Amino acid sequence: MNLEVVVASLRLRHPIMLASGVLGTTPDMLIKAYKAGASAVVTKSLTVSPREGNPNPVIVELRFGLLNAIGLANPGVENYLAECLENEKTIAEVPVIFSIAGAKVEDYVKPASLISEVGLAKALELNLSCPHVHETRQFSEDPKLTAQVVKAVSAVTSLPVFVKLGLTTNLMEVAEAAVKHGASAITAINTIRAMAIDIYARRPVLSSIYGGLSGPAIKPIALRVVYELYEEFDVPLIGVGGVSRWQDVVEFLMAGATAVQVGTAVYRRGLKVFRELVNGLKRYMEEEGFRDVNELVGIAH
């Protein structure tokens, strides 16, 4: 049975990756996630300068998912790369995708250039859609800005450029701009702008009022987006949003995703979730007579 998939030039042992923002805060955690069974790992979104993010509270657990407003807290790209170089021998064996975020086009270009020079990344993922950071969110709301940033980053790197899009009314136009100007793949979708209110304190729970909703609640939406993108564009798709059971993996593949990313389920159930999802996918393929996981991709169309 073949579980191997190829996203752009990235060859993965199976389609189930670690999403950005969950365990990617340190290179050590990325290595642990890979050893625990993830096929590739995505770093936390990195910015040119270190960011403290929002004051607490920044995470709310809901019945149907997770609400977070971390605010892109990260050590900055240069500090993160320095830490990676301390673990160079081990991290070089792991398919690491570096996520980048910023407020201006140059904020994406500089990290992309630095990451490419160091040579530990297998791909870049441009976070153009963090729902609770306006400077980043603006990119996936404007096809022209998307085109500018994708084109500029593609000019300074030979790495595959994945573009992570959020839920916007003009998502297809934004996706078209990304593909036209050099996106090697599209990651869809980011968390969805949402909020929670403490009825006893009588005010919003999160310090920033709004956060990003992830988990099972957004899966049907993410699935619909992947299905629509597959109908329109001939680039690999990475489905993300609410993948918590092996059935979710199969659905995303059938909708047209070549791979999926897992975030909230890792937060809630730990690293064992990767092996559980892979084993469930294998069992399904055996029972249904599929010998190659790629046979599932887009089969629902």
Closest-CA residue to 47 (of 67, 65, 83, 74)? 74
Task: Quickly list H helices, the chain.
Answer: 27-35, 77-86, 88-91, 105-118, 134-137, 143-156, 171-180, 219-232, 246-255, 264-269, 272-288
Do the Cβ atoms of 162 and 126 come closer than 8 Å? yes
Among 72, 109, 130, 161, the one annotated catalytic: 130
DSSP designation for 168:
-
Catalytic, 130? Answer: yes
Q: What is the chain's Cα-based Rg?
A: 18
Question: Cα(23)–Cα(202) distance, rounded to whole angstroms?
Answer: 32
CB distance 275 to 248 below 8 Å: no
Q: Which residues of 249-270 are buried (b: 16+ CB within 10 A; e: fewer)?
A: bbbbbbbbbbbbbbbbbbbeee
Q: Do residues 126 and 158 make contact, with C-beta atoms less than 8 angstroms apart?
A: no
H or E stretch covering 17: strand 16-18
Q: How far is CA 229 from CA 105, 165, 247, in A?
A: 25, 11, 20
Count the neighbouring beta carbons within 10 Å of the beta carbon of residue 300.
14
Going by their DSSP bridges, the two strands 41-42 and 96-100 should be labelled as parallel
- Which are the catalytic amino acids? 130
